[in-house]
Structure formats: C-alpha cells, structure tokens
Amino acid sequence: MIDPEVDEGVGAVSRDSNIPPELYPVLAKLPMQYVMRRRDLGRIRFSADLAMVMVHEAVLPAIVFKNAERADGARLRRLMRLISARGYVPTAPIICRIGQKGKWIVVDGGHRLTALRLLREERWTTRLIWFFEFLGTPAALVDRLRRWTTSAQPMVYFLLFTGPRSLSRVASTPADE
C-alpha cells in the first residue's frame, strides 16, 4: 500500500490532485507527447486547450517557468531524499498553464519540479558536461557524453493547458469546440 504522506511527489498519485474529475474523459483521449530535445518544445500540440507531455529532464533548463521555485524547507529536502533514494516515477503530472509570453506557469507540482531541477544540478555527470562545454570540447563528443549520461535520467510528466486562467474552466468547456 502506498503511503501518500511518504510517497507524495515521488510519482504516487497525489491525494489532493488539482485535476477536476470531469476532466478525466478528456484526458483519456489525449495522446502522450514526448519532448526529448529542446527543438521538440515547439512541436507540442494542444487539443481542447490541453496537452499531456513527457519532458526529458535534460530539456528542463530550456523551459522558462513561473512560480516553479519553492523555498528550501523540510518538505523539499524530504522530497529530494526520496527521489535520490527511490528514483522519480512520473505518474502524477506537474500541472502548468502556458502564459501569454510562453512561460510555463506552475499550478501544481512545484516542489517536485524544484527537487528534480536541484538534483539535476548536483549530479556529477551534469557538471562534467558543463566542464567539457567550457573547455570547448567538440560538439559531437559532448553530444555523445550527454546521450550516455541522460539515458537513465527521468522523464517529467506535465499536464499543460492554455486559454482560461484555471484548469476548472478548461474542464467546464465542451471538448467539441
């Protein structure tokens, strides 16, 4: 049995998810899209103002987030320890609204996102890539190293929406529009 208090944000379904239940039938019809490289960010397609997207952790620095940074506290440190020990399983989406200027405004899941970003910066492999880029190592060699080190890095599950200011408004509009 999953203990929601312990597993919150490590991929367990959150007991206080902000996804309105009336949105579940719409989500079931959406295709999962995968963003493996920065250029894939421009290829995200929305249906009924929604998109389900799995973003490779290495692409996160290319996304401009708003409301994503969470203060250092006991909850964030506990989450980072759990993700480090057990890994990150992306079953609970990080919910974001796409703003007018293209920023991803985090509505739910900011602690998970902050923990993943901080852990990524701490990894020695990431620092090694930055070091080789700083030295001017040929791009092909850096790309090969990046592929080798990122193959085990997690995918982050996002539920994106556009248009209305809240996810509940998306849920109340007909999907046929």
Looking up tokens 């929406």 gives 161
Looking up tokens 């040929």 gives 138
Residue 172, helix vs strand vs coil:
helix
DSSP H or E stretch at residue 74: helix 74-86
Q: Taking a C-beta distance cutoff of 8 angstroms, is the pair 50, 31 a contact? A: no
Model pTM? 0.69
Q: How far is CA 52 from CA 2, 12, 145, 157, 169, in A?
A: 24, 17, 29, 7, 17
Please, what sign has the CA dihedral across residues 172, 14, 67, 56? negative
* Residue 152 maps to a domain: yes
- Spatial separation of the C-alpha atoms in residues 64 and 77, rounded to whole Å: 23
* Residue 78 maps to a domain: yes
pLDDT tens-digit series, residues 48-107: 889 999 998 888 888 988 876 777 788 888 888 888 777 777 778 899 999 888 899 998
- Spatial separation of the C-alpha atoms in residues 140 and 143, rounded to whole Å: 5
Q: How far is CA 116 from CA 23, 35, 158, in A?
A: 27, 16, 13
pLDDT tens-digit series, residues 129-159: 667 777 777 777 666 666 655 545 578 899 9
* Residue 177 maps to a domain: no
Q: How far is CA 164 from CA 12, 34, 36, 98, in A?
A: 28, 24, 28, 10
* Residue 39 maps to a domain: yes
Number of domain units in the chain: 1
Say which residue, 29 or 124, is predicted with more confidence: 29
* Residue 123 maps to a domain: yes
* Residue 163 maps to a domain: yes
Specify the pLDDT at position 40: 92
Which structural domain, as residue segments, surrounds residue 165? 4-170
Specify the pLDDT at position 69: 75
* Residue 176 maps to a domain: no
* Residue 106 maps to a domain: yes
